Amino acid sequence: MDQTGLLKNLHNRTQEAVAHYWQTRTAQRKKQQETGKADQGLRSAVTGGAQMDGFIDLFTELITQAGIPLVYIFRKKAVELPGFFRPTKEWDLLVVRDQTLVAAIEAKSQVGPSFGNNFNNRTEEAMGSALDLWTAFRERAYLDSPQPFLGYFFMLEDCEASNRPVSVQQPHFKVFPEFIGASYMRRYELFCRKLVLERHYTASAFITSSISDGIGGNYNTPSNDLSVERFARTLIAHVSACA
């Protein structure tokens, strides 16, 4: 399938990745519960890994169709990059060709019920990873690589708790108005958008899905500027120039 064909089929391919996520997560949790080795709470469905593989498969296909051979795409193994504030950081997908860093992508997700603490952890992790990479890039940790594509993909569980307005504490100073009464879904949308506006990431995508509908591949895109299609087109344009 060429680039045009893949982009035309992007919605269906994203649906397949969403279905894989929920099916894998459900199967892992069931298996751990049956063996009596389930982790505390819903963490049992997170520590098993592999839920995001469908999305990584999709990004890999986009990159190869843009002209980068599969041998230069790394996932699960050899995914470490030097950092500036720490020795290394593992990425979910890397493209490294002829000692040139072409792209680095993070693909993350969150399900309830603990949205509060996990939101803080996810945002701090994403911002820290970007700062670490760009500072290391400035210091030529990646040799003579031109500016790489840095991508952030996020899927959030669409449920009552993620849609509920969340209060904020303002004991000393006012928070920015867009956060007043914003749900965690709205907060993640703002976060993903600001990552790109502030040039921490080249592109970001944000989708939501519920376990009841997601098991069949259904998902929503809260904002067009954070769509999978826009993310894919930006990724393709970058890696095509490096192919």
Dmax over Cα atoms in the chain, in whole Å?
56
Identify the pLDDT of residue 49.
59
Q: How far is CA 53 from CA 4, 50, 227, 234, in A?
A: 23, 5, 19, 21
Backbone conformation region of residue 36, classed left if phi is above 0, alpha if psi is from -120 to 50, else beta: left
What is the b/e burial string over 172-208, where b = at least 16 CB atoms within 10 angstroms of the residue's CB? eeeeeeeeeebbbbbbbbbbbeebbeeebbbbbbbbb
pTM exceeding 0.75: yes
pLDDT (0 to 100) of residue 46: 46
- pLDDT digits (tens), the chain, 243 positions: 456 667 889 999 999 999 999 999 988 888 877 776 655 444 444 444 589 999 999 999 999 999 999 999 999 999 999 999 999 999 999 999 999 999 999 999 999 888 988 999 999 999 999 999 999 999 999 999 999 999 999 999 999 999 999 999 999 999 999 999 999 999 999 999 999 999 999 999 999 999 999 999 999 999 999 999 999 999 999 999 987
Reference 15, options 235, 224, 207; nearest CA is 207
CA 10/CA 62 separation, integer angstroms:
10
Q: How far apart are the C-alpha atoms of 55 and 107, rounded to whole Å?
A: 7
pLDDT of residue 8: 85
Does the N-terminal peptide bond of residue 69 adopt cis geometry, omega within 30 degrees of 0? no
Name the token pair of 82: 């030097």
pLDDT of res. 36: 67
Is there a contact between 149 and 141 (Cβ–Cβ < 8 Å)? no
Instruction: Locate the domains of the chain by residue range.
Output: 3-242
Q: What is the pLDDT of residue 150?
A: 98
| Helix pair angle (184-197, 115-138), 10° resolution | 10
